[in-house]
Amino acid sequence: MTKLALIVAATEDLGIGMSGNLPWHIPKDMAFFKKVTTHVPKALEQPNIQNVVIMGRVTWESIPPKFRPLDNRFNIVVSRNSDYKLFPESTPQQNAVLKNSFESALEAVDPTKHGRVFVIGGAQMYSLAIGREECSHIVLTRVKSNVVCDTFFPKIDNEKFRLASHQELEDYVEQHVAQGIQKSKELEYEFTLYIKK
């Protein structure tokens, strides 16, 4: 059973998106996202292993074209429309595939080639993933402001997940992480981790 991790930035009321985009621009959080999703755990490190990012079609379209597919990660995009073109006017990229359900996205993960599996959004993918037994970690950047959102992360059941310590977060991501409240222009945020009980 391949474990699943969710990674997300969300407000106190779990807002994650507005009109198909992120409601904020926090460069250090984006750098954290890139580092965490790219880093293959030391225990798995072998040449040619990369992590997987699973996302819905709306999230795929929200990533600036110059960053798509996310580099050094195997990108799996979910759309019920099997005719959807990930690269409408250019050649398909080998680290990006389209799957027509969350279930078939999981089946496309190959433990001999892939390291960690991250679900990176949006709301529909998170809701499908969080309920699964394989979902072991939620890497949550808590945005401490109320930003208007139209898309929300599902409620985190505290009977199923516990807030981990900062040390557990650093141990999980195998890197130093800024501790406590961070500031980015007018926004405050904090890097947190939830672990399946």
Please say which residue, 62 or 79, places its beta carbon nearer to ligand FOL: 62
The single residue among 18, 28, 34, 168 that binds ligand FOL, judged by CB under 6 A, is 34
The 3-state secondary structure of 151-184, one letter per residue? EECCCCCCCCEEECCHHHHHHHHCCCCCCCCEEE
The single residue among 30, 97, 156, 163 that binds ligand FOL, judged by CB under 6 A, is 30
Cβ neighbors of 125 (< 8 A, separation 6 or more) are: 54, 55, 56, 59, 78, 102, 119
Per rule CB under 6 A, count of chain residues that contact ligand FOL: 19
Interface segment toward ligand FOL; rule CB under 6 A; list 27-35, 41-49, 126-134, 157-165: 27-35
The single residue among 11, 51, 75, 141 that binds ligand FOL, judged by CB under 6 A, is 141
Residue 63 binds to ligand FOL (criterion: CB under 6 A): yes
Please say which residue, 9 or 106, places its beta carbon nearer to ligand FOL: 9
**How far is residue 160's CA from residue 63's CA, in Å, rounded to a whole number?**
31
Residue 87 binds to ligand FOL (criterion: CB under 6 A): no
According to DSSP, the residues that pair with 6 across neighbouring strands are 119, 138
Torsion angle, alpha carbons of 34, 40, 41, 42, to 10: -120
SS3 content of the chain, % helix, strand, coil (to 5): 25, 30, 45
Interface segment toward ligand FOL; rule CB under 6 A; list 56-64, 79-87, 99-107, 167-175: 56-64
Residue 70 binds to ligand FOL (criterion: CB under 6 A): yes
Give the C-alpha distances (Å, rounded to integers) separating 170 from 74, 150, 164: 23, 31, 10
Helix (H, G, I), strand (E, B) or coil at 143: strand
Please say which residue, 1 or 3, places its beta carbon nearer to ligand FOL: 3
Residue 62 binds to ligand FOL (criterion: CB under 6 A): yes
Q: Where on the chain is the footprint of ligand FOL (CB under 6 A)?
A: 7-9, 22, 29-30, 32-34, 59, 62-64, 67, 70-71, 120-121, 141
